[in-house]
């Protein structure tokens, strides 16, 4: 989907969060309906578990489009953005030709959703798994090489779309969980991570968090593409006109409110029309969100469309921007991005890579030529896959620093 820098999704998000001033009528955030499948319910002993501890395991059918694997779901203990324990889930694919302690890939899928049914572990088994099935060819190629693949539901139990740091934490705890589940023989596996766009942001956050949050993990490389490194930076040319992708931006703001209800109270700033739109988006997947929000704008849903500086809201955005997190990856990284991406400009990527290089990290920045955010994913994918293959072969990681 194409757009100008003046009308980026991040600009819309920034406009929404900048409206966070006191409201005479309090309004609570909306959360997704409880999943009726008891597997997803948090067990009573959750608070006694450590991050990455396995809570439940169950076998699952092979999803449509996937071949040569057995499939499992693992519930594990992770941590939310306030430091509280949560129950998270990952789907583990074990290829038939794998070896014990062979390569393990954590793949952070793009999830643009507020509904729990849209997350990978659920969407794989719906009648229309469009948001996951497009990844089947690449993952099947990984299975043919004997790679085990874990796909975490990295938006967490509230489907907190936009909470990227949470995604990094869940990804790392998901790796811990599959390695602690002794029946899978992955405890000593070398680990890589990969993802694009929102999945790339979760991957990049996981790489930066790992040295402090999960230093015991043997992460030998990460590949992240199309990463929105700095949401606030993207909003420097703010517009409040109707936008074809407004639904995604509004959904991201609502997802952040779910994770930061006190610090990011978007619901307090909604008009009756905005509240109605919030209810329409509350359990939506990508296509629903795009369709409901198409060509809407801030003036349609906000009490006051003028910008109002909110330090707490800005702090939340910075906490969920990879560029603002002071940690530096110790695992080698491959980052690919379009030099002319109109949706996610490369400037913040360049700054983040420069900071990593200055700190001594090993980073390879690969620029692709497509001006379209989604096609850039495909253009950079072959190089990203080869980068991960080389890490498993034990070759020295290249650097463009």
CA 159/CA 322 separation, integer angstroms? 20
DSSP reduced 3-state for 70: strand
| Residues 162, 252 contacting (CB under 8 angstroms) | yes
CA 42/CA 65 separation, integer angstroms? 30
pLDDT score for 240? 66
pLDDT score for 373? 86
Question: Which residues are bridge partners to 115 per DSSP?
Answer: none
pLDDT score for 247? 83
Six-digit token string for 394: 């034990």
pLDDT score for 23? 42
Six-digit token string for 306: 């003028």
Angle, CA 325 vertex, CA 163 and CA 329 arms, to 5°: 105
Round the CA-based radius of gyration of the chain to a whole number and report it: 20
pLDDT score for 127? 63
pLDDT score for 370? 86
pLDDT score for 26? 56
What predicted TM-score, i.e. pTM, was given to this entire model?
0.91
Q: Centre a 10 Å sphere on the Cβ of residue 172 and count the other Cβ atoms it contains.
A: 28
pLDDT score for 5? 37
Q: Centre a 10 Å sphere on the Cβ of residue 161 and count the other Cβ atoms it contains.
A: 28
* CATH number listed for the domain at residues 41-229+373-392: 3.40.50.1820
pLDDT score for 133? 61
Six-digit token string for 26: 């309090």
Cα–Cα distance list, 65 to 61, 106, 119, 184, 285 (Å): 12, 19, 17, 23, 20
Alpha-helical segments (H) within 39-163: 120-123, 130-133, 136-144
pLDDT score for 78? 98
pLDDT score for 245? 75
* Residues of the chain where predicted confidence (pLDDT) is lower than 70: 1-26, 127-134, 233-240, 304-309
Burial class (CB in 10 A: 0-12, 13-18, 19+), 22: exposed
Token match 């942001």: residue? Answer: 201
pLDDT score for 192? 98
pLDDT score for 268? 86
């Amino acid at each position: 989907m194409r757009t100008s820098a003046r009308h980026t999704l991040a600009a819309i998000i920034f406009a929404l969060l900048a409206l966070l001033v006191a409201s005479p009528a309090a309004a609570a955030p909306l959360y997704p309906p409880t999943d009726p499948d008891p597997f997803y319910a948090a067990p009573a002993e959750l608070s006694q578990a450590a991050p990455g501890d396995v809570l439940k395991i169950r076998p699952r059918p092979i999803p449509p489009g996937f071949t040569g694997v057995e499939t499992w779901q693992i519930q594990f203990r992770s941590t939310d953005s306030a430091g509280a324990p949560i129950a998270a889930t990952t789907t583990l694919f074990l290829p038939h030709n794998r070896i014990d302690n062979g390569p393990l890939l954590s793949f952070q899928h793009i999830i643009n959703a507020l509904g729990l049914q849209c997350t990978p572990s659920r969407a794989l088994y719906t009648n229309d798994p469009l948001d996951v099935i497009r990844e089947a060819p690449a993952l099947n190629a990984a299975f043919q090489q004997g790679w085990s693949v874990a796909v975490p539901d990295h938006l967490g139990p509230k489907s907190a779309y936009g909470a990227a740091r949470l995604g990094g934490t869940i990804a790392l705890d998901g790796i811990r969980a599959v390695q602690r589940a002794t029946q899978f023989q992955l405890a000593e596996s070398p680990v890589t991570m990969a993802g694009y766009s929102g999945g790339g942001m979760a991957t990049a956050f996981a790489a930066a968090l790992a040295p402090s949050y999960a230093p015991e993990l043997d992460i030998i490389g990460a590949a992240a593409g199309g990463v929105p490194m700095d949401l606030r930076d993207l909003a420097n040319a703010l517009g409040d006109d109707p936008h074809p992708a407004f639904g995604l931006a509004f959904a991201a703001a609502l997802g952040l409110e779910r994770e930061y209800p006190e610090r990011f109270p978007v619901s307090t700033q909604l008009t009756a029309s905005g509240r109605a739109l919030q209810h329409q988006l509350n359990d939506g997947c990508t296509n629903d969100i795009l369709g409901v929000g198409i060509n809407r704008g801030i003036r349609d849903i906000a009490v006051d469309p003028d910008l109002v500086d909110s330090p707490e809201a800005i702090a939340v955005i910075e906490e969920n921007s990879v560029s603002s997190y002071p940690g530096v990856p110790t695992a080698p990284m491959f980052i690919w991005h379009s030099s002319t991406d109109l949706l996610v400009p490369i400037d913040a990527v360049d700054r983040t890579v420069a900071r990593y290089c200055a700190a001594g990290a090993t980073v390879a920045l690969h620029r692709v030529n497509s001006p379209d955010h989604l096609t850039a994913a495909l253009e950079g994918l072959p190089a990203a896959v080869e980068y991960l293959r080389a890490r498993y072969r034990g070759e020295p990681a290249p650097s463009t620093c």
